[in-house]
Structure 1
Amino acid sequence: MNLPYEPDVAFGVHPDLGVAAAVADDRPHLDDVLRKHHFRYSQDLDVYLLPKDAPYNASVQAVAAATREFQDAGLTVAADPRIMLPPPIPTSDDVAARTTQPGQSLTALTGELHELRRSADVAEVLEQILDEHHGAVGDLEEFIDTAAAWCERLDTPNGRELGQHLRTIAHHVAFLGDRLADAQLDLSVMPDVTPQDAPPLTDVPLPARHEIPSVTHTARSRAAVASSPNRPTGLPAPPEEVPRSTAAPPSPRRTR
Protein backbone atom coordinates (compact mmCIF):
# COMPACT_ATOMS: atom_id res chain seq x y z
CA MET A 1 0.00 0.00 0.00
CA ASN A 2 1.65 3.24 -1.13
CA LEU A 3 0.60 6.27 0.94
CA PRO A 4 1.56 9.96 0.55
CA TYR A 5 2.23 10.05 4.31
CA GLU A 6 3.19 7.60 6.99
CA PRO A 7 0.26 6.82 9.29
CA ASP A 8 0.71 5.89 12.92
CA VAL A 9 -0.91 2.49 12.26
CA ALA A 10 -1.62 0.65 9.00
CA PHE A 11 -3.81 -2.44 8.69
CA GLY A 12 -3.49 -4.82 5.77
CA VAL A 13 -4.13 -8.40 4.62
CA HIS A 14 -1.36 -10.90 3.96
CA PRO A 15 -2.37 -13.84 1.72
CA ASP A 16 -0.80 -16.41 4.07
CA LEU A 17 -0.72 -14.69 7.46
CA GLY A 18 -4.10 -12.98 7.48
CA VAL A 19 -4.84 -9.54 8.95
CA ALA A 20 -1.72 -7.62 9.96
CA ALA A 21 -0.94 -4.26 11.54
CA ALA A 22 2.22 -2.20 11.19
CA VAL A 23 3.11 0.71 13.51
CA ALA A 24 5.24 3.76 12.86
CA ASP A 25 7.25 3.41 16.08
CA ASP A 26 7.40 1.51 19.34
CA ARG A 27 5.10 3.73 21.42
CA PRO A 28 3.61 1.64 24.26
CA HIS A 29 0.09 2.92 23.52
CA LEU A 30 0.15 1.42 20.03
CA ASP A 31 1.24 -1.94 21.43
CA ASP A 32 -1.34 -1.84 24.22
CA VAL A 33 -4.29 -1.14 21.91
CA LEU A 34 -3.34 -3.78 19.37
CA ARG A 35 -2.82 -6.45 22.04
CA LYS A 36 -6.13 -5.46 23.62
CA HIS A 37 -7.82 -6.35 20.32
CA HIS A 38 -6.03 -9.72 20.00
CA PHE A 39 -3.13 -8.71 17.73
CA ARG A 40 0.18 -10.35 18.64
CA TYR A 41 3.59 -9.02 17.71
CA SER A 42 5.80 -11.07 15.41
CA GLN A 43 9.42 -10.14 16.02
CA ASP A 44 10.60 -11.94 12.88
CA LEU A 45 8.23 -9.98 10.62
CA ASP A 46 8.08 -6.79 12.71
CA VAL A 47 4.27 -6.65 12.38
CA TYR A 48 1.26 -7.45 14.56
CA LEU A 49 -0.93 -10.35 13.45
CA LEU A 50 -4.37 -11.62 14.32
CA PRO A 51 -4.64 -15.40 14.75
CA LYS A 52 -4.76 -17.00 11.28
CA ASP A 53 -7.91 -18.92 12.25
CA ALA A 54 -9.76 -15.80 13.44
CA PRO A 55 -13.26 -15.66 11.86
CA TYR A 56 -13.83 -12.96 9.27
CA ASN A 57 -16.36 -11.02 11.39
CA ALA A 58 -14.08 -11.10 14.43
CA SER A 59 -11.18 -9.79 12.33
CA VAL A 60 -13.23 -6.90 10.92
CA GLN A 61 -14.50 -6.01 14.39
CA ALA A 62 -10.97 -6.08 15.82
CA VAL A 63 -9.68 -3.71 13.12
CA ALA A 64 -12.69 -1.40 13.49
CA ALA A 65 -12.46 -1.29 17.30
CA ALA A 66 -8.70 -0.65 17.28
CA THR A 67 -9.10 2.02 14.59
CA ARG A 68 -11.72 3.88 16.64
CA GLU A 69 -9.48 3.78 19.70
CA PHE A 70 -6.48 5.09 17.77
CA GLN A 71 -8.51 7.87 16.12
CA ASP A 72 -10.02 8.90 19.45
CA ALA A 73 -6.43 9.39 20.64
CA GLY A 74 -5.71 11.65 17.66
CA LEU A 75 -3.63 9.10 15.74
CA THR A 76 -3.73 8.49 11.99
CA VAL A 77 -4.81 5.08 10.67
CA ALA A 78 -4.75 3.54 7.21
CA ALA A 79 -6.50 0.28 6.27
CA ASP A 80 -6.49 -1.89 3.19
CA PRO A 81 -10.11 -2.13 1.93
CA ARG A 82 -9.56 -5.83 1.23
CA ILE A 83 -9.99 -6.38 4.98
CA MET A 84 -13.72 -5.89 4.37
CA LEU A 85 -13.84 -8.58 1.69
CA PRO A 86 -15.22 -11.81 3.20
CA PRO A 87 -13.77 -15.20 2.26
CA PRO A 88 -15.74 -17.27 -0.28
CA ILE A 89 -18.31 -19.75 1.02
CA PRO A 90 -17.03 -23.33 0.59
CA THR A 91 -18.82 -25.19 -2.19
CA SER A 92 -18.64 -28.63 -3.75
CA ASP A 93 -16.43 -29.11 -6.79
CA ASP A 94 -19.31 -28.90 -9.26
CA VAL A 95 -20.73 -25.64 -7.85
CA ALA A 96 -19.23 -22.28 -8.72
CA ALA A 97 -18.23 -20.18 -5.72
CA ARG A 98 -20.12 -16.94 -5.24
CA THR A 99 -18.17 -13.75 -5.88
CA THR A 100 -17.22 -12.22 -2.54
CA GLN A 101 -18.22 -8.63 -1.88
CA PRO A 102 -18.07 -6.40 1.21
CA GLY A 103 -20.83 -7.19 3.67
CA GLN A 104 -24.07 -5.22 3.70
CA SER A 105 -25.02 -3.44 6.90
CA LEU A 106 -28.71 -3.44 7.80
CA THR A 107 -27.93 -0.77 10.40
CA ALA A 108 -26.56 1.51 7.67
CA LEU A 109 -29.57 0.87 5.42
CA THR A 110 -31.91 1.65 8.32
CA GLY A 111 -30.04 4.90 8.83
CA GLU A 112 -30.52 5.77 5.15
CA LEU A 113 -34.30 5.60 5.57
CA HIS A 114 -34.17 8.61 7.93
CA GLU A 115 -32.89 10.83 5.11
CA LEU A 116 -35.28 9.71 2.33
CA ARG A 117 -38.47 11.52 1.30
CA ARG A 118 -39.64 9.70 -1.86
CA SER A 119 -41.29 6.29 -1.96
CA ALA A 120 -39.14 5.29 -4.93
CA ASP A 121 -35.98 5.96 -2.91
CA VAL A 122 -37.20 3.71 -0.09
CA ALA A 123 -37.92 1.03 -2.71
CA GLU A 124 -34.30 1.23 -3.88
CA VAL A 125 -33.01 0.66 -0.34
CA LEU A 126 -35.37 -2.26 0.12
CA GLU A 127 -34.18 -3.69 -3.19
CA GLN A 128 -30.66 -3.93 -1.74
CA ILE A 129 -31.96 -6.19 1.01
CA LEU A 130 -33.72 -8.37 -1.57
CA ASP A 131 -30.84 -8.58 -4.04
CA GLU A 132 -30.74 -12.13 -5.38
CA HIS A 133 -27.00 -12.57 -4.99
CA HIS A 134 -25.96 -10.35 -2.08
CA GLY A 135 -29.14 -9.28 -0.28
CA ALA A 136 -29.56 -9.76 3.46
CA VAL A 137 -32.72 -11.87 3.09
CA GLY A 138 -31.12 -14.39 0.76
CA ASP A 139 -27.94 -14.49 2.85
CA LEU A 140 -29.96 -15.19 5.99
CA GLU A 141 -31.83 -17.97 4.21
CA GLU A 142 -28.56 -19.53 3.06
CA PHE A 143 -27.06 -19.23 6.55
CA ILE A 144 -30.03 -21.03 8.14
CA ASP A 145 -29.97 -23.74 5.46
CA THR A 146 -26.26 -24.28 6.12
CA ALA A 147 -26.88 -24.46 9.88
CA ALA A 148 -29.59 -27.06 9.18
CA ALA A 149 -27.17 -29.12 7.10
CA TRP A 150 -24.64 -28.93 9.95
CA CYS A 151 -27.23 -30.31 12.38
CA GLU A 152 -28.26 -33.09 10.00
CA ARG A 153 -24.61 -34.08 9.57
CA LEU A 154 -24.58 -35.13 13.23
CA ASP A 155 -26.73 -38.09 12.09
CA THR A 156 -28.58 -38.23 15.41
CA PRO A 157 -32.32 -37.94 16.16
CA ASN A 158 -31.80 -34.55 17.84
CA GLY A 159 -29.67 -33.32 14.94
CA ARG A 160 -32.23 -34.39 12.33
CA GLU A 161 -35.06 -32.84 14.36
CA LEU A 162 -33.27 -29.52 14.77
CA GLY A 163 -32.20 -29.59 11.12
CA GLN A 164 -35.84 -29.97 10.08
CA HIS A 165 -36.78 -27.12 12.41
CA LEU A 166 -34.13 -24.86 10.87
CA ARG A 167 -35.21 -25.70 7.32
CA THR A 168 -38.74 -24.69 8.25
CA ILE A 169 -37.36 -21.37 9.49
CA ALA A 170 -35.49 -20.96 6.18
CA HIS A 171 -38.80 -21.57 4.40
CA HIS A 172 -40.39 -18.75 6.40
CA VAL A 173 -37.47 -16.44 5.58
CA ALA A 174 -38.03 -17.15 1.87
CA PHE A 175 -41.74 -16.43 2.35
CA LEU A 176 -40.84 -13.18 4.14
CA GLY A 177 -38.62 -12.23 1.20
CA ASP A 178 -41.54 -12.73 -1.20
CA ARG A 179 -43.74 -10.46 0.92
CA LEU A 180 -41.01 -7.82 1.12
CA ALA A 181 -40.66 -8.00 -2.66
CA ASP A 182 -44.39 -7.23 -2.97
CA ALA A 183 -43.97 -4.20 -0.68
CA GLN A 184 -40.89 -3.07 -2.63
CA LEU A 185 -42.84 -3.21 -5.89
CA ASP A 186 -45.69 -1.19 -4.37
CA LEU A 187 -43.25 1.44 -3.12
CA SER A 188 -41.52 1.69 -6.49
CA VAL A 189 -44.73 2.74 -8.27
CA MET A 190 -46.05 5.06 -5.55
CA PRO A 191 -45.68 8.75 -6.48
CA ASP A 192 -45.89 9.81 -2.82
CA VAL A 193 -43.40 12.22 -1.26
CA THR A 194 -43.05 12.92 2.47
CA PRO A 195 -44.48 16.39 3.30
CA GLN A 196 -41.94 19.02 4.27
CA ASP A 197 -43.64 19.53 7.64
CA ALA A 198 -43.69 15.81 8.49
CA PRO A 199 -42.07 14.97 11.86
CA PRO A 200 -38.61 13.39 11.84
CA LEU A 201 -38.66 9.63 11.56
CA THR A 202 -37.05 9.39 15.00
CA ASP A 203 -40.18 11.02 16.49
CA VAL A 204 -42.57 8.51 14.90
CA PRO A 205 -43.21 5.66 17.37
CA LEU A 206 -42.38 2.20 16.10
CA PRO A 207 -45.16 -0.40 16.26
CA ALA A 208 -45.28 -2.35 19.50
CA ARG A 209 -43.74 -5.79 19.41
CA HIS A 210 -46.01 -8.54 20.69
CA GLU A 211 -44.35 -10.71 23.30
CA ILE A 212 -44.07 -14.37 22.35
CA PRO A 213 -44.56 -16.75 25.29
CA SER A 214 -41.59 -18.92 26.12
CA VAL A 215 -41.98 -22.52 24.95
CA THR A 216 -40.00 -25.69 25.43
CA HIS A 217 -37.74 -27.17 22.76
CA THR A 218 -40.20 -30.02 22.20
CA ALA A 219 -43.06 -27.58 21.67
CA ARG A 220 -40.98 -25.53 19.24
CA SER A 221 -40.03 -28.65 17.30
CA ARG A 222 -43.67 -29.74 17.10
CA ALA A 223 -44.70 -26.28 15.90
CA ALA A 224 -41.95 -26.29 13.29
CA VAL A 225 -43.09 -29.60 11.85
CA ALA A 226 -46.74 -28.57 11.79
CA SER A 227 -46.32 -24.97 10.63
CA SER A 228 -46.70 -23.69 7.09
CA PRO A 229 -46.69 -20.18 5.63
CA ASN A 230 -49.91 -21.10 3.83
CA ARG A 231 -51.70 -21.87 7.09
CA PRO A 232 -52.87 -18.76 9.04
CA THR A 233 -51.02 -18.42 12.31
CA GLY A 234 -54.26 -17.91 14.20
CA LEU A 235 -55.49 -21.45 13.63
CA PRO A 236 -55.38 -23.75 16.67
CA ALA A 237 -52.64 -26.38 16.78
CA PRO A 238 -53.60 -29.97 15.90
CA PRO A 239 -54.79 -31.92 18.94
CA GLU A 240 -52.32 -34.76 18.47
CA GLU A 241 -48.60 -34.73 17.98
CA VAL A 242 -47.38 -34.85 14.41
CA PRO A 243 -45.15 -37.91 13.87
CA ARG A 244 -41.53 -36.99 13.51
CA SER A 245 -39.88 -37.72 10.21
CA THR A 246 -36.27 -38.83 10.11
CA ALA A 247 -35.83 -37.66 6.51
CA ALA A 248 -35.15 -33.96 6.14
CA PRO A 249 -37.38 -32.23 3.56
CA PRO A 250 -35.74 -30.57 0.56
CA SER A 251 -34.83 -26.95 1.09
CA PRO A 252 -37.67 -24.67 -0.03
CA ARG A 253 -35.41 -21.66 -0.54
CA ARG A 254 -35.47 -19.73 -3.78
CA THR A 255 -32.89 -20.23 -6.48
CA ARG A 256 -30.12 -17.72 -6.00
Structure 2
Amino acid sequence: MLQLEPDVAFGAHPEFGVVAETADARPFLAEVLRRHRFAYSDRLRLWQLAAGTPFNTSLRLVASASREFQDAGLAVLTDPRVLLPPAPAGARVREPLPGLSLTAVSTELSGLVRAGDVANALDPVLDEDHGVFAGLEDVFTSAAGWCERLGTEHGRQLAGELRAGVHQVVTLGERLLEAQLTLSVMPDTLPKNAPAQTVERLAEPVVAHAERARAAVAASPHHPFTPATSTGTAAVPPRQAVPPPGRAR
Protein backbone atom coordinates (compact mmCIF):
# COMPACT_ATOMS: atom_id res chain seq x y z
CA MET A 1 0.00 0.00 0.00
CA LEU A 2 1.36 3.43 -0.97
CA GLN A 3 2.29 5.56 2.02
CA LEU A 4 1.74 9.24 1.29
CA GLU A 5 3.10 10.65 4.55
CA PRO A 6 6.79 9.91 5.24
CA ASP A 7 8.12 8.92 8.64
CA VAL A 8 11.09 11.24 8.18
CA ALA A 9 11.60 14.16 5.78
CA PHE A 10 14.90 15.90 5.06
CA GLY A 11 14.93 19.42 3.67
CA ALA A 12 17.16 22.42 2.95
CA HIS A 13 16.19 25.55 4.90
CA PRO A 14 17.53 28.82 3.41
CA GLU A 15 18.54 30.10 6.88
CA PHE A 16 19.10 27.01 9.04
CA GLY A 17 20.67 24.63 6.52
CA VAL A 18 19.83 20.93 6.37
CA VAL A 19 16.90 20.02 8.61
CA ALA A 20 14.78 16.95 9.33
CA GLU A 21 11.19 16.51 10.46
CA THR A 22 9.70 13.34 11.94
CA ALA A 23 6.10 12.18 11.77
CA ASP A 24 5.99 11.58 15.53
CA ALA A 25 8.15 11.32 18.65
CA ARG A 26 9.23 7.69 18.31
CA PRO A 27 12.50 7.16 20.22
CA PHE A 28 14.05 5.25 17.30
CA LEU A 29 13.67 8.25 14.97
CA ALA A 30 15.37 10.57 17.46
CA GLU A 31 18.13 8.04 18.16
CA VAL A 32 19.08 7.68 14.50
CA LEU A 33 19.07 11.43 13.90
CA ARG A 34 21.26 12.09 16.93
CA ARG A 35 23.77 9.48 15.75
CA HIS A 36 23.97 11.40 12.50
CA ARG A 37 24.71 14.74 14.22
CA PHE A 38 21.20 16.21 14.09
CA ALA A 39 20.10 18.21 17.14
CA TYR A 40 16.50 19.03 17.97
CA SER A 41 15.46 22.69 18.05
CA ASP A 42 12.49 23.44 20.31
CA ARG A 43 12.10 26.81 18.62
CA LEU A 44 11.95 25.41 15.09
CA ARG A 45 10.41 22.08 16.09
CA LEU A 46 12.85 20.54 13.64
CA TRP A 47 16.07 18.55 13.75
CA GLN A 48 19.01 20.38 12.22
CA LEU A 49 22.69 19.88 11.49
CA ALA A 50 25.14 22.24 13.18
CA ALA A 51 25.77 25.52 11.38
CA GLY A 52 28.86 25.36 9.17
CA THR A 53 28.60 21.62 8.43
CA PRO A 54 30.44 21.14 5.09
CA PHE A 55 28.23 20.33 2.13
CA ASN A 56 29.80 16.92 1.43
CA THR A 57 29.53 15.98 5.10
CA SER A 58 25.84 16.86 5.23
CA LEU A 59 25.22 14.77 2.12
CA ARG A 60 26.88 11.73 3.71
CA LEU A 61 24.94 12.17 6.96
CA VAL A 62 21.57 12.48 5.19
CA ALA A 63 22.32 9.48 2.95
CA SER A 64 23.46 7.33 5.87
CA ALA A 65 20.46 8.24 8.07
CA SER A 66 18.05 7.68 5.17
CA ARG A 67 19.50 4.24 4.52
CA GLU A 68 19.14 3.27 8.18
CA PHE A 69 15.52 4.42 8.25
CA GLN A 70 14.72 2.56 5.03
CA ASP A 71 16.39 -0.61 6.28
CA ALA A 72 13.97 -0.42 9.22
CA GLY A 73 11.02 -0.28 6.82
CA LEU A 74 10.32 3.44 7.27
CA ALA A 75 9.37 5.93 4.56
CA VAL A 76 11.89 8.73 3.91
CA LEU A 77 11.44 11.86 1.82
CA THR A 78 14.39 14.04 0.79
CA ASP A 79 14.05 17.48 -0.80
CA PRO A 80 16.26 17.60 -3.96
CA ARG A 81 17.67 20.93 -2.77
CA VAL A 82 19.63 18.99 -0.13
CA LEU A 83 21.66 17.57 -3.04
CA LEU A 84 22.47 20.98 -4.55
CA PRO A 85 25.67 22.70 -3.42
CA PRO A 86 25.19 26.26 -2.13
CA ALA A 87 25.74 29.09 -4.58
CA PRO A 88 29.15 30.75 -4.09
CA ALA A 89 29.16 34.13 -2.40
CA GLY A 90 29.18 37.01 -4.83
CA ALA A 91 28.10 34.87 -7.76
CA ARG A 92 27.51 36.88 -10.90
CA VAL A 93 23.99 37.25 -12.25
CA ARG A 94 23.76 35.71 -15.70
CA GLU A 95 22.52 37.87 -18.51
CA PRO A 96 21.19 36.58 -21.83
CA LEU A 97 23.47 36.57 -24.86
CA PRO A 98 21.85 38.72 -27.57
CA GLY A 99 21.40 36.98 -30.89
CA LEU A 100 22.21 33.44 -29.71
CA SER A 101 20.17 31.09 -31.88
CA LEU A 102 20.39 27.32 -31.70
CA THR A 103 19.07 27.15 -35.24
CA ALA A 104 21.91 29.37 -36.44
CA VAL A 105 24.48 27.28 -34.56
CA SER A 106 23.06 24.04 -36.00
CA THR A 107 23.16 25.48 -39.52
CA GLU A 108 26.74 26.63 -39.03
CA LEU A 109 27.81 23.22 -37.73
CA SER A 110 26.40 21.43 -40.78
CA GLY A 111 28.63 23.46 -43.09
CA LEU A 112 31.94 23.16 -41.21
CA VAL A 113 34.84 20.96 -42.27
CA ARG A 114 37.50 21.04 -39.57
CA ALA A 115 36.96 19.50 -36.14
CA GLY A 116 38.55 22.57 -34.55
CA ASP A 117 35.99 24.84 -36.23
CA VAL A 118 33.18 22.68 -34.88
CA ALA A 119 34.66 23.01 -31.38
CA ASN A 120 34.76 26.79 -31.77
CA ALA A 121 31.16 26.92 -32.96
CA LEU A 122 30.03 25.32 -29.69
CA ASP A 123 31.55 28.11 -27.58
CA PRO A 124 28.43 30.33 -27.40
CA VAL A 125 26.24 27.35 -26.49
CA LEU A 126 28.53 26.30 -23.62
CA ASP A 127 29.36 29.79 -22.34
CA GLU A 128 29.04 29.61 -18.55
CA ASP A 129 27.45 33.06 -18.27
CA HIS A 130 25.34 33.39 -21.41
CA GLY A 131 25.09 29.89 -22.91
CA VAL A 132 22.02 27.78 -23.50
CA PHE A 133 22.68 25.39 -20.61
CA ALA A 134 23.27 28.22 -18.16
CA GLY A 135 19.96 29.73 -19.23
CA LEU A 136 18.12 26.41 -18.89
CA GLU A 137 19.41 26.00 -15.33
CA ASP A 138 17.97 29.42 -14.47
CA VAL A 139 14.63 28.57 -16.11
CA PHE A 140 14.26 25.33 -14.13
CA THR A 141 15.30 27.05 -10.88
CA SER A 142 12.95 30.01 -11.38
CA ALA A 143 10.01 27.75 -12.27
CA ALA A 144 10.70 25.66 -9.17
CA GLY A 145 10.71 28.77 -7.00
CA TRP A 146 7.34 29.85 -8.40
CA CYS A 147 5.83 26.42 -7.68
CA GLU A 148 7.11 26.53 -4.12
CA ARG A 149 5.43 29.89 -3.55
CA LEU A 150 2.08 28.23 -4.20
CA GLY A 151 2.36 26.80 -0.70
CA THR A 152 0.59 23.57 -1.67
CA GLU A 153 1.72 19.95 -1.51
CA HIS A 154 1.39 19.61 -5.28
CA GLY A 155 3.39 22.80 -5.78
CA ARG A 156 6.21 21.53 -3.58
CA GLN A 157 6.22 18.20 -5.40
CA LEU A 158 6.41 19.88 -8.79
CA ALA A 159 9.17 22.18 -7.53
CA GLY A 160 11.20 19.15 -6.47
CA GLU A 161 10.83 17.60 -9.91
CA LEU A 162 11.95 20.83 -11.55
CA ARG A 163 15.00 21.11 -9.30
CA ALA A 164 15.92 17.52 -10.16
CA GLY A 165 15.79 18.62 -13.81
CA VAL A 166 18.67 21.00 -13.11
CA HIS A 167 20.94 17.97 -12.65
CA GLN A 168 19.86 16.63 -16.04
CA VAL A 169 20.67 19.96 -17.71
CA VAL A 170 24.11 20.00 -16.06
CA THR A 171 24.78 16.43 -17.22
CA LEU A 172 23.87 17.27 -20.83
CA GLY A 173 26.12 20.32 -20.74
CA GLU A 174 29.04 18.25 -19.44
CA ARG A 175 28.59 15.72 -22.24
CA LEU A 176 28.65 18.41 -24.90
CA LEU A 177 31.70 20.00 -23.25
CA GLU A 178 33.54 16.65 -23.34
CA ALA A 179 32.72 16.35 -27.03
CA GLN A 180 34.02 19.88 -27.63
CA LEU A 181 37.32 19.08 -25.92
CA THR A 182 37.69 15.92 -28.01
CA LEU A 183 36.97 17.82 -31.23
CA SER A 184 39.52 20.50 -30.34
CA VAL A 185 42.39 17.98 -30.42
CA MET A 186 41.04 15.75 -33.20
CA PRO A 187 43.21 15.58 -36.35
CA ASP A 188 41.47 16.88 -39.47
CA THR A 189 40.05 14.13 -41.67
CA LEU A 190 38.32 14.23 -45.04
CA PRO A 191 34.52 13.87 -44.68
CA LYS A 192 32.79 11.37 -46.96
CA ASN A 193 31.47 12.84 -50.24
CA ALA A 194 33.35 16.06 -49.57
CA PRO A 195 33.29 18.62 -52.44
CA ALA A 196 36.48 19.59 -54.27
CA GLN A 197 36.92 22.83 -52.29
CA THR A 198 36.86 20.80 -49.09
CA VAL A 199 39.72 18.64 -50.33
CA GLU A 200 41.69 21.81 -51.13
CA ARG A 201 41.06 23.24 -47.65
CA LEU A 202 42.20 20.06 -45.95
CA ALA A 203 45.37 20.13 -48.02
CA GLU A 204 46.41 23.29 -46.20
CA PRO A 205 48.89 22.92 -43.32
CA VAL A 206 47.16 22.01 -40.05
CA VAL A 207 47.95 22.89 -36.44
CA ALA A 208 50.12 20.28 -34.75
CA HIS A 209 48.31 17.79 -32.49
CA ALA A 210 50.37 18.81 -29.46
CA GLU A 211 49.47 22.46 -29.98
CA ARG A 212 45.77 21.56 -30.18
CA ALA A 213 46.05 19.61 -26.95
CA ARG A 214 47.60 22.58 -25.17
CA ALA A 215 44.83 24.84 -26.48
CA ALA A 216 42.15 22.41 -25.28
CA VAL A 217 43.20 22.64 -21.65
CA ALA A 218 44.01 26.36 -21.64
CA ALA A 219 41.83 28.62 -19.49
CA SER A 220 39.13 30.68 -21.20
CA PRO A 221 37.47 33.89 -19.99
CA HIS A 222 34.10 32.25 -20.61
CA HIS A 223 34.52 28.69 -19.32
CA PRO A 224 37.40 27.12 -17.35
CA PHE A 225 37.43 24.14 -19.67
CA THR A 226 36.57 25.77 -23.00
CA PRO A 227 39.31 25.24 -25.61
CA ALA A 228 41.26 28.42 -26.24
CA THR A 229 41.17 29.92 -29.72
CA SER A 230 44.32 29.27 -31.72
CA THR A 231 46.38 32.33 -32.63
CA GLY A 232 47.02 30.96 -36.10
CA THR A 233 50.81 31.28 -35.69
CA ALA A 234 51.79 27.72 -36.60
CA ALA A 235 54.96 27.60 -38.68
CA VAL A 236 54.48 27.65 -42.46
CA PRO A 237 56.64 25.14 -44.40
CA PRO A 238 59.14 26.63 -46.91
CA ARG A 239 57.66 27.65 -50.28
CA GLN A 240 54.14 27.33 -48.87
CA ALA A 241 52.09 30.32 -50.00
CA VAL A 242 48.87 29.42 -48.15
CA PRO A 243 48.78 30.70 -44.54
CA PRO A 244 48.05 28.21 -41.78
CA PRO A 245 44.40 27.91 -40.64
CA GLY A 246 43.31 29.78 -37.49
CA ARG A 247 40.85 28.40 -34.98
CA ALA A 248 38.79 31.61 -35.08
CA ARG A 249 35.71 31.68 -37.25
Same fold (TM over 0.5): no
TM-score (norm 1): 0.39
TM-score (norm 2): 0.40
Higher Cα Rg: structure 1 or 2? 2
